[in-house]
Structure 1
Amino acid sequence: MSSTLSPVPPATVPAGLSRLLRDARALLGRDQHAAGLILERATRLLEPQPPRPAPLLPAPLLPAAVPGGLAGWQVARLTRHVEAGLGGPLLLKELAGVARLSTGHFARAFKQSFGITAHAYVMQQRMARAKRLMLETEAPLCQIALLCGMADQPHFSRVFRRLEGSTPMAWRRRQRATRG
C-alpha cells in the first residue's frame, strides 16, 4: 500500500488554505506556537462547517432592495471571502473582482449595502477576529496581530485603540477580569 497522498482538486480547497499552510510551514522552525494556531485555522477550514452565527456586522437582509447596492450573491461571496482572507492583505481591487464589479462601482455599491466603506468593514472584521483570539487563546498580541492581517503589533494596537477606545492588552485584561 502506497503512503503517498493524492492531490486535492483545486476547486475543493477552501480559499486561503494554501496560504495558511505556507505560513505555518514558514513559522514552524521559528515559532511553533504561531504555526500551531495557523494549522488549527487550516484544520477548521477542512472540517464540515456547523451552521454559523450571524456575523458581527450583519449583511443587509435584502441587498437587492437597496438602490445601487450589491446583490445578495455578492454580499454572501464578499463576506465569505473577507472572513477567509483576514490573515493577509485584502485589496479593494481584489474585493471588487470577487463581486465582479469595477473598483469604483464596487466601492459605491458596498457602502450603499453595508453603510460603511469596504476598508472599514475589513478592519472591523479583523478586530472582531482579534477579540475572539484574545479571549480564546493565550497567544501573544504580536501573533494575534499577524493572524489578523495587521502589519505588526504597534499597527494593531493603534487600530484597536482607535476602534475600541483602549489598547488590546487593557481590553484583554478587562475581559478576563469580568469572565473570571
Structure 2
Amino acid sequence: MKTRNPADYPVLGVLYLGPAHGYDLCRELRERLGEVWTLRTSHIYALLAGLEKDGLVRHDRIDQETRPAKKVFSITDGGRLVFLAWVRSPVMNVRDIRLEFLTKLHFARFDSPTAVADLVTNQLSVCRSTQKRLKREETLCRTETDRAALDFRLAMLSATVTWLVKLLPPDLRRFAETG
C-alpha cells in the first residue's frame, strides 16, 4: 500500500461526505476541522491532483453561464476504501493525536454508529501498550536527560489515556477506566 500524505485524508473525508469543488472543499475543511488542519487553497488543489492521479478521486467539469467551468470532485470506490481503512485505524505515535487522531475522530462519526467507540478503544489499546513498553525501558535510562524524556513521554501518554476514556460513552467508560 502506498504511503500517503497525511493531508490527503481530510480532503478524502470531505469528499466522502459528498462531491465538492475546490473552493467548497477549502471552506468545508475550515468549518469542519478549524485549527486542526490549516491547508492553503493551493495545497488542496495539489492534493486533489495527486489523489486523482492515484484514482482515489475524480472530477466532472460543470459549465457555468457567466463563469469558467468548474471541477466538481468526488471520491471513487477505491478512495472510499483507502479513507475508511485510515479512519478506522489508531495512530501509532502520541504526537499524531493532535492532528491525525482528531481528524479521524471527526470523520468516524459519519462511518457507523460504533465507529467512534471502536476507534477510541483501539487508540486506548495502542497507548496502553506503549505505556507498558516505556515502563519496561525505565531501567535502561542512563542519564537524567534520558529519564526526563521518558517521564515526559509517560506523562503525555497518561494524559492521553485519561482524555480518550472521557471520549467513550458512559457504559464503555467504566470498563475502559479499569482496563
Q: What's the TM-score once normalised by structure 2's chain length?
A: 0.33
Q: What's the TM-score once normalised by structure 1's chain length?
A: 0.33
Structure with greater strand percent: 2
Rg (Cα) greater in structure:
2
